Chains A and B, each alone.
Chain A
Amino acid sequence: MEVSSAEAALSVSASSIRITDVTQDGDVLTFAIASQKLNSSAGVCVFRIYEDFDWLQQSLFSQENLPGLQGIIFPPLPSKALPSQSNTQTKALKQLGFLALGQDWQSYCKALEFYLQQVAAHPTLCKCKALDSFLINSESPGKQRGRKGIFNRLSQAVEEMRKESHKDVDNFFQNERNKNTNLAALSKVATEKLLDVVMTEQKLALACGHFATSLHLCVNQDDAAAVAFSKVCLKLSDVIEAVNRNFEKVASNDLSTLGLGLDLESRYQEAEKVWECVLMIACKLIELETVKKGTEKAKASKREVMEAFQKAVEKEFNLISSVAKQEIERFHSSRVNVLKNFLIGWCELQLNTAKEFAELYSQHLEACRNMYSE
């Protein structure tokens, strides 16, 4: 496969990319992105805003002279966060789902970080100069609003194609498309349901906190009986406070692992949908192109020219097709791997939390039994 002449492999290690900090200034979030240089122990840190990420994505889409570009499944970029005061939590949840939860934009940063890692790990996309520039240049990419790439050019066509039920290039893609539609819907639902669970866990934690505080207000030192009762209330308050922390932990675990994982899965499914449309359009364009050329050349009736053209078209077609197939394989194994890691992480975190609190409650129980044995 030919690559562009300005081939520059990524100069940093994909797995070292981290978003280390985020600051908010009015409406604007600024992210600090750190990565490790491949050939030295030096680290790099740059500051970027959302528009810079958007620029990167567009640059990826609009790479020229990259054969088979249409076959690539692009890692999905999370939507822009709108941190202004007028944006209530409900609005934020609607817009960003899971990424709106968590303290100080942690989940959102994690998602952006993941995006960068995925792009950097992609065998083709990692070679895009824009990526290297994004990660290394101290100056931000600036206000370049370059060509929007395939998507803007074809955005209307995309919608049209989606509406029509079009015969796919291959049975392979047909199956893929059906599965994808199904999975996309299901993972979206699962993400939303998990979000509901996490919200309720947080509400429970809050309710426990209130209850524990109210118990504290029952303290009264007027006489011996009141003191005894106060001690009991304080003990119950401690227990409830532990339950509060328990729920906060459980919610945070859900959020940072499974929540993030499902959200990512969901957005990847959406990305795959887009990819399929792009594929279909690319193939359709090629068809149209063929027909057009055919009509033109027909007049010249130079058979060799026609055949040569035909071969070139087929070659391009096959290239896209093979890239697409590779991408699908890569996509599936990557997604299975990603989900696996999130599931393991989630399970381990929840297991540790359960052990921690089983221990804590047992200690409280022992203490109470000893204190209260008459």
Chain B
Amino acid sequence: MSEEREPPPLPGAAQTVFPEPQDAEDLFVSAASAMESPEAACLSAEDISPSSNGPRDDDPDDLFAEATEEVSLDSPERQPILSDGPSPAITPVTPVMISPRVDVFDRSPDQDEDEEENRDTFDIQISVSDPEKVGDGMNAYMVYKVTTKTSLSIFSRDEVCVKRRFSDFLGLYSKLASKYMHMGYIVPPAPEKSIVGMTKVKVGKEDLSSVEFVEKRRSALERYLLRTVKHPALLKDPDVLQFLESSELPRAVSTQALSGAGILRMVNKAADAVNKMTIKMNESDAWFEEKQQQFENLDVQLRKLHASVESLVCHRKELSVNTASFAKSAAMLGNSEDHTALSRALSQLAEVEEKIDQLHQDQSYADFYLISELLGDYVRLITAVKGVFDQRMKAWAKWQDAQVMLQRKREAEAKLQYANKPDKLQQATDEIREWEGKVQQGERDFEQISKNIRREVGRFEKDRVKDFRVVIIKYLESLVHTQQQLIKYWEAFLPEAKAIA
């Protein structure tokens, strides 16, 4: 594997290696032309094997990886493409690698289908808890405890606790996305960065909004991990295992500029670039077109729903504030009232209203964490789904380009035959064989990603129904609880009201 590797470009050349978004396409096409040019960055999966696990110190790619980091530290989030998106195997590829690659591609589906059947033995619980602030001022950050309880054998222990910070989660997502997205896997996106939210926390404001922010983030991180391990391929990924188990994790520096949305934006920008080019995909399979349209519609609908629920949450909070205010005014009225029984009844009224206020607050948390965050998560997931569809288009385009190249090479060879230049002819023949290989590979890749996407979409749709069902039940449970509490409060108040002589 290592013999054929091109020397990585010097850090200074990194700028050309990570070109403007419209050249993203080139990253694919030029993968095989590594012999011809030192352009090495590509999202090829050639070297992806379960054992490759991101930038390692002893990896000959090291220099290259550093170059990546340097670039990303300079670049703002607006140019996510410059960050270390495709993290582990950023190695130039030669066509000779075709065979091991095929294995890699074929590995997952069969094994994953087995995983599907073993779902009922899916036994892993993850919790994110105990947020702790580390450090002071603008360099401060929150550290979360990640606890994994499982009986699965791929884990070394039944129960393990590690400490992770937000950028660790982003780093994990970044690695998983670069490894799996181009294969058509829907990788759950990590939660969004929030400059405002974090600044408040850093500055040390202990107010309600920063407490709520930390709780919101904690919950989001937990959901993110749970979704990630629910995916059969991701569960077995060494990066995931390392994240959950190892006490020390190399700091994901490059995520300073990158977030889940950043990666997806990069991917989607690349897709736009594909679309801008004249290649229009001939969809031979109506399923993909229909599904894409469905997801477009779903995206719009979910966003609307999310906005609706946010409005609900907002009003519920307002109700809580108003109820508390009314309770106070009722208490004051009770205090000023001469008539003893009436005074007591009014004070009781104030107490009931205070308790109802608390119920409103609790219910508003349910509204938010159950429904609003679910919808928000799905809006982000749909972006990931759209991303894999775009990856398929890229794979198709690559395949087509290879075919075009092959045709050109054939034409060139034909011309050379007439020109009678034997040495060049040999080279031309070699190139034809090379490109025939690429065409075959392109077709195989395309078919594989199509197959993966079908399976992934099926899994996604099943999970979606399950997730929503779980939420409905939890939400109904909270509604029932609230009403039962209300019944208690009113039943306690009634005799007080009747006792007014």
Residues of A within 8 A of B (CB): 179, 182-183, 186-187, 189-190, 193-194, 196-197, 200-201, 203-204, 207-208, 210-211, 214-215, 217-218, 220, 222, 225-226, 228-229, 232-233, 235-236, 239, 243, 332, 336, 339-340, 343-344, 346-348, 350-351, 354-355, 357-358, 361-362, 364-365, 368-369, 372
Contacts and interface: CB of A to CB of B under 8 A. Distances in A.
12 contacts: A190-B326, A229-B465, A236-B472, A239-B472, A336-B500, A336-B501, A339-B500, A344-B494, A350-B486, A357-B479, A358-B486, A365-B477
Contacts of B56: none
A173 B349 CA distance: 29
Contacts of A235: 472
Contacts of B371: 236
Interface string B312-330: 1001101100110110111
B308 A214 contact: yes
Nearest to B480: A361
Nearest to A349: B490
Contacts of B484: 358
B152 interface: no
A132 B468 CA distance: 65
B494 A354 contact: no
Nearest to B476: A365
B464 interface: yes
B338 A204 contact: no
B340 to A, nearest CB: 10
Given A214-B305, A236-B468, A200 B290 contact: no
B180 interface: no
Given A226-B294, A365-B476, A193 B315 contact: no
A348 to B, nearest CB: 7
Contact of B339 (A243, A332, A364): A332
Contacts of A346: 497
B87 to A, nearest CB: 33
A175 B308 CA distance: 53
Nearest to A183: B336
A262 to B, nearest CB: 9
A193 B326 contact: yes
A347 B469 CA distance: 35
Interface string B272-297: 00000000000000000010001001
A372 B468 CA distance: 11
A200 B319 contact: yes
Given A204-B316, A336-B342, A364-B476, A232 B465 contact: yes
Given A179-B336, A196-B326, A232-B468, A357 B483 contact: yes
A186 B498 contact: no
B469 A372 contact: yes
Interface of B: 290, 294, 297-298, 301, 304-305, 308-309, 311-312, 315-316, 318-319, 322-323, 325-326, 328-330, 332-333, 336-339, 342, 345, 349, 371, 458, 461-462, 464-465, 468-469, 472-473, 475-477, 479-480, 483-484, 486-487, 490-491, 493-494, 497-498, 500-501
B473 A214 contact: no
A367 B277 CA distance: 52
B486 A347 contact: no
B329 A193 contact: yes
B494 A336 contact: no
A183 B333 CA distance: 7
A220 B294 contact: yes
A260 to B, nearest CB: 15
Given A347-B493, A354-B487, A200 B322 contact: yes
B319 A204 contact: yes
A96 to B, nearest CB: 19
Contacts of A200: 315, 318-319, 322
Nearest to B460: A225
A365 B308 CA distance: 23
A348 B494 CA distance: 7
B483 A211 contact: no
Nearest to B319: A200
Contacts of B479: 239, 243, 357, 361
Nearest to A342: B497
Contacts of B342: 336, 339-340
B476 A220 contact: no
Contacts of B308: 207, 210-211, 214
Contacts of A201: 319
Contacts of B311: 207, 210-211
Given A200-B319, A214-B308, 5 more contacts: A186-B332, A214-B301, A225-B465, A229-B468, A344-B498
B472 A368 contact: yes
A200 B298 CA distance: 31
A354 B486 contact: yes
Chain A CB within 10 Å, residue with most, of B290, B304, B342, B472: B472
Contacts of A194: 326
Contact of B490 (A189, A217, A351): A351
B336 A197 contact: no
Given A336-B339, A355-B487, A357-B483, A204 B333 contact: no
Contact of A187 (B301, B309, B333, B338): B333
B312 A186 contact: no
A229 B326 contact: no
Given A218-B301, A236-B468, A350 B490 contact: yes
A274 to B, nearest CB: 20
Contacts of A336: 339, 342, 500-501
Nearest to A211: B308
Contacts of A183: 333, 336-337
Chain A CB within 10 Å, residue with most, of B290, B298, B342, B458: B342
B281 to A, nearest CB: 21
A208 B312 contact: yes
B483 A354 contact: yes
A364 B333 CA distance: 40
A214 B304 contact: yes
B477 to A, nearest CB: 6
Contacts of A362: 480
Contact of B294 (A187, A222, A232, A368): A222
Nearest to B348: A343
Nearest first, the 7 closest Cβ-Cβ pairs linking A and B are A358-B483, A225-B461, A351-B490, A193-B326, A340-B500, A354-B486, A211-B308
Contacts of A210: 308, 311
A355 B486 CA distance: 9
Contact of B336 (A186, A214, A358): A186
A229 B487 CA distance: 34
Nearest to B294: A222
Contacts of B305: 211, 214-215, 218
Contact of A340 (B301, B336, B486, B497): B497
B315 A343 contact: no
A217 B305 CA distance: 10
B468 A343 contact: no
A136 to B, nearest CB: 35
Contacts of B498: 340, 344
A186 B473 contact: no
Chain A CB within 10 Å, residue with most, of B298, B345, B490, B494: B490
A210 B309 CA distance: 9
B458 to A, nearest CB: 7
Contacts of A357: 479, 483
